[in-house]
Structure 1
Amino acid sequence: MDYEEFKRQLGKAGISGREFSRIVKLNPNSLTNYSKTGKIPAHWAIVVVLMGEMAEKGLDFKTVIESVELEPNKPRGAAKDGQFGGNRKE
């Protein structure tokens, strides 16, 4: 899905990119990166299309998604403790 279609689907759902990021626990900077490349990953494309369709049919997708216990992704390269890099050499 291209970024313009993603924005159109957000409009159908009645939400902003920032709200989408909050609902699905996505770092808002990721959406900025997708806007620069012009392409949305397939899994987020499916999610936003379903949100748009649910909203058009009067279904409350926000409550459904927020009822799922999602954890935000850790930054790439993050260790188990959330710190970058490896062990310090002494």
Structure 2
Amino acid sequence: MSYDDFLAELGKAGLSVQKFAQLLGRRPNSISNNRKLGEVPDHLAIIAVLLAELHVRNIPFSPAFARLGLSPKRPRGASAIGKFGGDKQGQLELGA
């Protein structure tokens, strides 16, 4: 699906890219980066079309997403303890 068609489906669903990303526990940039490619991955296209269809038929989708308990994704490279790249290497000991 083209990125423009994807945005149209989000519009039918009453969602912005930011709200769509929030529903999926993603960062908005990870969704909008697809603009450069001109297309969105199939799984995002399917979700957008289904959300649009639910919205057109006045079926609320927020309760279903709430049941999933999705948590926001950390940015790539972010470690759990707040440093990039993990632990430093220890000193190597060379044998004589």
Counterpart position of 2:55: 55
Aligned length: 90
Pairs within 5 Å for 1:1-90: 1-79=1-79, 81=81, 83-90=83-90
Q: Going by fraction, where is helix more abundant, 1 or 2?
A: 1
Root-mean-square deviation (Å): 1.9
Larger radius of gyration: 2
Deviating beyond 6 angstroms after TM superposition, the runs of 4 or more aligned structure 1 residues are: none
- For 1:68 and 1:31, the matched residues in 2 are separated by 20
In structure 2, stretches of 5+ residues that fail to align are 91-96
- Relative to the length of structure 1, the TM-score reads 0.83
% identical equivalent positions: 38
- 1:62-83 Cα deviation digits (max 9, x unpaired): 2221221112233334456564
In structure 1, stretches of 5+ residues that fail to align are none
Contact preservation (8 Å) 2:17, 2:32: no
